[in-house]
Each structure stands twice: as structure tokens, then as C-alpha cells.
Structure 1
Amino acid sequence: MAPQGTRLGEDTDLISEFGLDSVNVMDLLLEVEEDFDISVPLNLLADIRTPKDLARAIVRLLEAG
């Protein structure tokens, strides 16, 4: 859980600033897969640390798919 008053921006580090662990990130990716009807390869996990990283990955997957 993010500390109270922490704002989410495109460059917010979801791991260090919001305290997400690997399980939280996997849950987030499962939601993204469902919402966008895409499959996010597990090897992308290491590259997704910010909302901007996540958005870029979604766009690439949608363009490829």
C-alpha cells in the first residue's frame, strides 16, 4: 500500500514508492490482460516498474496482436 499522500504519476516506481511486490505486480498484470484482452509475457515483469512502462508494454502488445 502506498504511503498516504503519495501521488501516482507516470514515472512513479510501483515497487519502491508504492510497495508492490511480485504478487501485486502479477495481480495487476492479470487485470491488464483481462481488461485489454492481451497476454503479457512473464519476461516483461522485470521491465515494468512505472505506469509509463506498463502503458508502453500494453501498447506494444496491442500493436503486435
Structure 2
Amino acid sequence: MQAPSNGHLGRTKEFLMGLVIGLLILWVIVVIVGFIVKSLFWLAIVGIVLFVATAGFGALRRRSGSVH
């Protein structure tokens, strides 16, 4: 089996960063909806937790430079 080429690794990194950014945007929307609808305050809390977790994951992946 051949090792993946640099082009493949670049696309994978771009995909993962796109996924992380997409999740961050989704969590921001969840937080806003949770704060707008007072009865869904728990949704805002979940959104904040997921936003922080996703941001931390993205920062760790970016700092380590690993794809796997």
C-alpha cells in the first residue's frame, strides 16, 4: 500500500478545518436560538459547551499538525 501524497493530506486538512469551522458556526446558531427562546436556555448551554469543545479540538489539531 502506498503512503498518501501531499496533495491528499492537504485536502484532508482543508476538509477537517472546514468541518471544524462549520461546527463552530452551527454551535453559535444553537447558542443564539437558546438565548432568544428563554424556555430553551439549556440549548444555549449545550451550544456553548460544544463550541468550546470544537474550538479546542480544532486548536489542538492545528497545533499538532497531524491529520490522524
TM-score, normalised relative to structure 2: 0.32
TM-score, normalised relative to structure 1: 0.33
Greater share of helix: 2
